[in-house]
Structure 1
Amino acid sequence: MMKKRYLLSLCMAVLLAVELQAKVVLPALLCDNMVVQQNSVVCLWGKSDASVLTVKPSWTEKEYRTDVSGNGSFQLWIETPSAGGPFEIEFNDGEKTTVRNVMAGEVWICAGQSNMDMPMSGYPGQPVNGALEAVVEAKEYPVHVFMVNRKLSKQTEEQCEGKWEAPSAESVMHSSATAYFFAKNLQKSLQVPVGIIVSAWGGTSILSWMSEKSVNTLPSDVTKACVERDSREQNLPGRLFNAMIHPLKNYTAKGFIWYQGEHNLQEHLTYDVMMKTMVDEWRNSWNDKKNEMPFYFVQIAPYRYFNNSMEIQRPLIVEAQKRALELIPNSGMATTTDIGEEFCIHPAKKPVVGLRLAACALAGTYHVKGLCTSDIKIEEIKPLDNKMILKFNSDFRSVYPARMKGFEIAGKDRKFYPAEAVFKNGTIEVRSDSVAHPEAVRYAFRNYVEADMKNVMGVAASSFRTDNWNE
């Protein structure tokens, strides 16, 4: 009797071991509440000890079958439906594993430093406008959030940590405010579910968000100085790319949004090339050979950088960000000239940032007509008596108010004085009693200055200058 019991227990243990051995192991990104990119062909991957795996999405009668490689990994591609859900995806390698509450919609990768990382709940003493309303209304909008857990790595990682969260007050409270407001505005306009994968870490350098290999293509004196200035591990080349971007590469997404640059104020001469290098690598990681994945980014906010509102580090980095638009195909920029806070580097007006990012995406990616998101460009500069007459690109359409804050004017002595700026007959006339013969005009060209020039849709103009004087 004892021998029979022993044999029975042994058989059960063996069967249990086989059963456990065959169970599919999925990455954190493939879990309940996930959003798959609609009308696409998306990648599913994981591990199994079986030799063959089948996958059955509930939105189709089709069953997908794939072999498992010798190292126990599998990867396959499945077609996704138009926006909708909830769906299920069943994985079967002898034992079934089901991912539930799957939505089909639009998926975006959202990355950057603290202004992207800042949660809806804000930071101590630093609130987010509209947070209470967003939390209360959370379940009204099918926005699903995956917050990538912070991690550093010297080598590329294949897995990240985190989980997809369905819409709830709690999930919205802890999500990135910038990313959530972007997603919420997309959802309201497109009327489809939206999934955001947020990978952000405050106070980090752009060098950490690309691989060491990519960093080594940049001027060595620039990268060396950047690292020496702040050599914390999260700012070393590749550390965040390896652990928080590379593991996302298999997850099919529509595009990227980016909010970073404060840490790299001193790299204003090369930040545009840094951005292009990073975007090129990200697109290659997603196998985007045609630069089809859009890249939309936010200007750094006005603030008294280096404890000095009157210095010009911020407008110089904005110039680099504007140059990046010319280097990076299929890109766009959300302006922040009017929403900064002099004594807080994390402005509360995240709903405006999210709205402007969404407008960039709606116009550039989803082809919503009638949106005017382009930045202002000077077409003609003409001195007239004691004034400077500025004519701008027609696609900026118009500006308001009639009298604008934030302008300065200078003569041959290169000393800038606050100026009166009046919108008149499609041009802006700029003058100051302190400058009899003006030679240069600047707008919002300080770390922090009140400025209110906008187009007719309320999109702020970037800081600009008509001179190229060395500083």
Structure 2
Amino acid sequence: MNLKYSSGLLSSFVVIATFSIYQTAEAKVKLPSVFSDNMVFQQKTQAAIWGKDDPGKTITIIPSWDKKKYTVKTDASGNFKQKIQTPSYGGPYTISINDGEDLTLKNVLIGEVWVCSGQSNMEMPLAGWGKVNNYEDEIAKANYPNIRLLQAIRKTSNFPLDDVEVRNTGWDECSPASVADFSSVAYFFARELYKETKIPIGLIHTSWGGTIAEAWTSAATLKTMPDFKDAVVKIESSSKDQAELKRKYQADLAKWQADMVGKDAGYREGKAIWLDNQSSNDWKTMAVPGLWEEKALPSFDGVVWMKKKISIPQSWVGKEIQLSLGTIDDDDITWINDTKVGQTVGVSVPRKYTIAANTLKAGDNTITVRVFDSGGGGGFFGDEKSLALINPDGERISLAGQWQYHVGVDVKDVGAAPTVVDGPNRPTVLYNAMIHPFLNFAIKGAIWYQGESNAGRAYQYRELFPAMIKDWRKNWNEPDFPFYFVQLANYQKRGEQPGESDWAELREAQSKTLALPNTGMASAIDIGDAGDIHPKNKQEVGRRLALIALAKNYGKKITYSGPVYTTHQVAGNTIKLSFTHTDSGLKSTTGSSLKGFEIAGDDHKFVWADAKIVGNQVIVSSPQVSKPTAVRYGWANNPEVSLTNASGLPASPFRTDDWKGITYSAK
């Protein structure tokens, strides 16, 4: 199984707080961190309260909403658990928990509790590194004391944990002070729900940027899946001595890295030999930026050397020059001519190197970049503007365009990298540390924004993602709780011609997950950013998720989805497409013609298509394809899309064919 072990899209919250695992007050009773002042209990349910005290201790619990007394004794290990009946939404209330000394939870609300999880686009805060659209104004207006926030602190564990550290030792009322570093998607989701229903909302935010879905799935479920079983068994059988594990990992990693260099054709006796122009006479070319899976090397993981010749004016010579290479997936070593100018590990780190004066010469110079990718997409990605040489006067030489490339070594020839012992991108370790502690806590449902880190294994995600959802539902003992998720936004440079796309295949896997009951998908295909994997319009993402919940859970008669493809019919040289969720009619955002459609015959060669709306169908054709067999729409990392319904919600990308994609065999 090929997993990414870099921090991926990882970004950090700025957390100004002190942390404690237990809310202790002055009593002996110890409660997990999910219980604190300002908390929200799920309405109209048997909600559990649990904790620890001395063995054999009698605990009395009295909620103020009905003043009913619940009595429970701790077991031989000092654990107790008691379910209490919660009323319809309201508050504030108090809950007394007494073992002879009283611990009182104050300012408690009854409402709806939603778990909010995923990777960096769920983690992205309003301020901090996120800075959503109009973030200063949004933060200033975030006075919603009936929305409550619980922020889990990142942690991994090889074994299930009973508790998790949280920001500020517990729940916060939503205010300008508390919301700035909280999940923007979660907040905008809750704000929309609260405005429409006036029901208090509790948000449990537990996410981690750059992480893979299998990290959020239980060991029991993963062991039923051949792709993950061995890795999970290895984790479960590992020593709990972290120092010992880290020493072994460092030794294994050093040996693996040496093997990679030893088998890399671009090195001889540890020295880079592909830095001069003569060495690249037989190299091929690909366009940069763009991941090499989409350009020239489908499903390739390993080392690729990339090279570009550039002409430097005399006026630049003798000056310190800045080199920007945008973002590289995963690691790079970079030379100018035969001088090493930089080296970076990790996909999330911008490549900005300073080239010392007199390194560049007037006329031709060569930039050589050794790129290593451990899995999924590899190479340069992002905006063309981010690839440039920049002199002290701000003058720029673009580095976008055609680069030469040559494979150095395929990971298959060396073997998979050793598994990190404490990183988040390992099967089950985030479930253990950041989901398992909440399983006894009654919730309404979950929202999820993740998939970027699994895009290179999109076919595998077809099985993994629904398995994770069923796993959570089973372990929460809520077999059908609502689970709503965001379909990946458009991202990266827009292609000039139709082509394959791992992100499109991941979106398809997400769409297929809607076959599970009580799921919903908010498409973000029209609100992404070509140059930023973290688009700023999180307001609309949260709103679209809330539309699903309002329609499915709160009885609102509203449109909550864009058009969804259902069937197609070949009619001569055209293909007719039918949809659900057409609202009061299909619409185009680009006038009379539709963008984003492509068509192919039996040769599987797609070309851009003519498409028009006729009633609630779309008719697709092309003069280049006389006998069409397949249509695709929005099938790209960053497609141009135009099909909506009358409510303005975008159609989800789709294809009518089932031809094998580029991630079909990726594990």
Q: TM-score, normalised by structure 1?
A: 0.88
The answer as to 2:509 corresponding to 1:320 is yes
> Which digits, 9 at most, give the CA deviation of each residue in 1:63-102, with x for residues without a partner?
2211122222211111112211111111111111111111
* Corresponding position: 1:418 with 2:605: no
Task: Give 2:113's match in structure 1, choosing from 107, 113, 118.
Answer: 107
Answering whether residue 341 of structure 2 is matched by residue 154 of structure 1, we say no
Q: Which amino acid aligns with 2:585?
A: S
* Partner of residue 491 from structure 2, selected from 303, 315, 336: 303
CA distance in 2, matches of 1:308, 1:171: 44
Cα distance change, pair 202–24 in 1 and its aligned pair in 2 (3 A): same
* Alpha-carbon contact 2:562-2:652 (below 8 Å) kept: no
Aligned to 1:16: none
What displacement does 1:306 show? 12
1:83-232 equivalence runs, <5 A:
83-121=89-127, 123=129, 127-140=131-144, 142-162=146-166, 163-220=170-227, 228=416, 231-232=419-420
Deviation of the 1:127 alpha carbon: 3.2
**Which has more helix, going by share of residues?**
1
Native 8 Å contact 2:120 2:208 kept in 1: yes
Count how many residue pairs are aligned between Structure 1 and Structure 2. Answer: 447
Instruction: Please report how far the alpha carbon of residue 229 of structure 1 lies from its aligned counterpart in structure 2 after TM superposition.
Output: 7.2
Q: What is the DSSP-based 3-state SS (H/G/I as helix, E as strand, rest coil) of the residue aligned with 2:586?
A: coil
CA distance in 1, matches of 2:604, 2:638: 20
Q: What is the root-mean-square deviation in Å for CA atoms of aligned residues? A: 2.7
Q: 1:344-391, CA deviations, whole angstroms, 9 ceiling, x for partnerless residues?
A: 111112111111111111222223223342651233323344x43323
- Tell me which of 624, 641, 645 is aligned to 1:451: 641
Give the deviation of 1:413 after TM superposition: 3.9
Superposition deviation, residue 394 in structure 1? 6.3
Matches within 5 A, 1:233-248: 233-248=423-438
Which moves more between the two structures, 454-463 or 391-400? Answer: 391-400
Is the Cα–Cα contact under 8 Å of residues 372 and 395 in structure 1 kept in the other structure? no
Taking the aligned partners of 1:305 and 1:157, their CA distance within structure 2 comes to 42
Kept in 2: contact 1:122–1:128 (CA 8 A): no
In the alignment, the residues of structure 1 paired with residue 494 and residue 561 of structure 2 have an alpha-carbon distance, to the nearest angstrom, of: 31
- Match for residue 255 of structure 1? 445
Matched, 1:361 2:549: yes
CA distance in 1, matches of 2:443, 2:111: 10
Would the aligned equivalents of 2:93 and 2:107 in 1 still touch at CA under 8 Å? yes
1:431 matched residue in structure 2? 621
Corresponding residue for residue 391 of structure 1: 578
Distance 1:80 1:52, change over 3 A: same
Specify which structure has the bigger relative contact order, considering alpha-carbon pairs within 8 angstroms and separated by 6 or more residues. 2
The structure 2 residue matched to 1:408, chosen from 593, 598, 610, is 598
* Alpha-carbon distance between aligned partners in 2 of 1:157 and 1:324, rounded to the nearest angstrom: 28
Q: Greater shift after overlay, 183-192 or 438-447?
A: 438-447
After superposition, give the CA deviation of every residue in 1:117-169 in whole Å (9 maximum; x if it has no partner).
1111152xx53124333312211462111011001111110011112111110
In the alignment, structure 1 segments of 5+ residues that lack a partner are 1-18
Distance of 1:56 and 1:121 partners within structure 2:
39
Higher share in strand? 2
Structure-2 change in CA distance of 1:337 and 1:35 (3 Å): same
What's the counterpart of residue 269 of structure 2?
none
Residues 276-320 of structure 1: CA deviation (Å, up to 9, x unaligned): 2212221122112xx221111111222129999954111111111
**Length-normalised TM-score, structure 2:** 0.63
CA contact (8 A) 1:380 1:392 kept: no
Alpha carbons of structure 1 residues 412 and 154: separation in structure 2 relative to 1, 3 Å = closer
2:27–2:103 Cα contact (<8 Å) kept? no
- Which is further off, 459-468 or 251-260? 459-468
Deviations for 1:228-265, whole angstroms, at most 9, x for unmatched residues?
57944211111101100000111110111111111111
Q: Is the contact made by 2:547 and 2:558 (CA closer than 8 Å) also made in structure 1?
A: no
Counterpart for residue 278 of structure 1: 468
Going from structure 1 to structure 2, the CA distance change for 1:352 and 1:223 (only over 3 Å counts) comes to farther
Which whole-Å CA distance do the structure 1 matches of 2:25 and 2:117 have between them?
A: 37
Give the residue type in structure 1 aligned to 2:82: L
| 1:5 alignment counterpart | none
Which one-letter code corresponds to 1:407 in the other structure? F
Change (3 A) 1:92 1:138: same
Bigger Cα Rg: 2
Q: Is the 8 A contact 2:125 2:181 kept in 1?
A: yes
Confirm or deny: 8 A CA contact 1:297 1:357 kept in the other structure. Answer: yes
Q: Aligned in 2, Cα 1:96/1:141: closer, same or farther, shift over 3 Å? A: closer
Q: Which amino acid aligns with 2:558?
A: G
| C-alpha displacement of 1:409 | 2.3
CA 1:229–1:33 in 2, change beyond 3 Å: closer, same or farther? farther
Q: 1:218 to 1:292 in 2, by over 3 A?
A: same
Paired residue secondary structure (1:195) = strand
The CA distance in 2 between the partners of 1:170 and 1:372, in whole Å, is 32
List gaps (5 residues or longer) in structure 2. Answer: 1-23, 232-373, 377-415, 662-667
Distance across 2 between alignment mates of 1:84 and 1:365: 18
- Flag the 1:202–1:322 CA change in 2: closer, same or farther, 3 A: same
Q: Secondary structure at the match of 1:153?
A: coil
Identical aligned residues as a percent: 39
**Corresponding residue for 2:535?**
347
Instruction: Find the aligned partners of 1:312 and 1:451 in 2 and give their Cα distance.
Output: 15
Q: 1:436 to 1:308 in 2, by over 3 A?
A: closer
Secondary structure at the aligned position of 1:66 is classed as: strand
Q: Secondary structure at the match of 2:133?
A: coil
TM-superposed deviation, 1:222: 9.4
Alpha-carbon offset, residue 199 of structure 1 = 0.7
- Residue identity in the other structure for 2:173: A
